Structure 1
Amino acid sequence: MSEPMTVNIPHQLGADEARQRIANGFARTVGSVPGGALIKLNERWDGNRMIFEARGLGQTASGFIDVADTVVTLTVTLPPLLAGLVDKLRGRVRDAGQLLLR
């Protein structure tokens, strides 16, 4: 496994509203990426932390999303196949997160 990738997404929604938007839209956001229809997503909440695992095409990514009053922090460990793309993925993940929290 590679080192975890961490992305901070600032917001002004408060923790409760940000959590609700993530709960309602995370699976849809994952499904919208290229190949997303082939991804099996498992997620569960523990307070304001969503723990997830995404499996597809023989690869697994796992991590968590911490929701706070002014920032959402996503930490994900990518499979070796994607580990070399961390810098490109970080920007795309941040953009998708900002859209989700609008």
Structure 2
Amino acid sequence: MATIPHSLGKDEAMRRLKSGLGSASSSVPILRIDEETWADNRLTFRLTALGQTAEGTADVEDDSVRIEVVLPWFLQKVAEMVQTTIASRTQILLEKK
């Protein structure tokens, strides 16, 4: 689980995440977002990394995004790298431009 702070407000953070997830996948070759579904401020997603599938959620709040990913056994071994990658891509999407 990772919590990423932001100062954008919930609506702007959601807008950036919705518009930027596809490009985030293309910039990280080992990570592909296969499915994303939004319900209110919660994103449910399925991703593939290193040939393994994982699922997770991202809850967007007024001042933070909380990301939780459930990894299969193989990916648990590289969890730190995957979590860092997801967190850094989310941080880039939330940075003020």
Task: Give the TM-score, by structure 1 length.
Answer: 0.81
Percent identity, aligned pairs only?
Answer: 37
Aligned residue in 2 for 1:3: none
1:51 matched to 2:56: no
How far apart, CA to CA, are the structure 2 residues paired with 1:84 and 1:56?
12
Show structure 2 runs of 5+ residues with no match: none
Secondary structure of 1:51 counterpart: strand
> How many residues matched?
95
How far apart, CA to CA, are the structure 1 residues paired with 2:33 and 2:91?
23
Q: 4+ residue stretches of structure 1 with deviation over 4 A?
A: none
The more displaced of 75-84 and 89-98 is 89-98
Indicate the RMSD between aligned Cα atoms, in angstroms: 1.8
Aligned residue in 1 for 2:2: 7
Show structure 1 runs of 5+ residues with no match: 1-5
Q: Relative contact order (C-alpha < 8 Å, sep 6+): which is higher?
A: 1
Q: Aligned partner of 1:28: which letter?
A: S
Q: How far is 1:40 from its partner?
A: 5.5
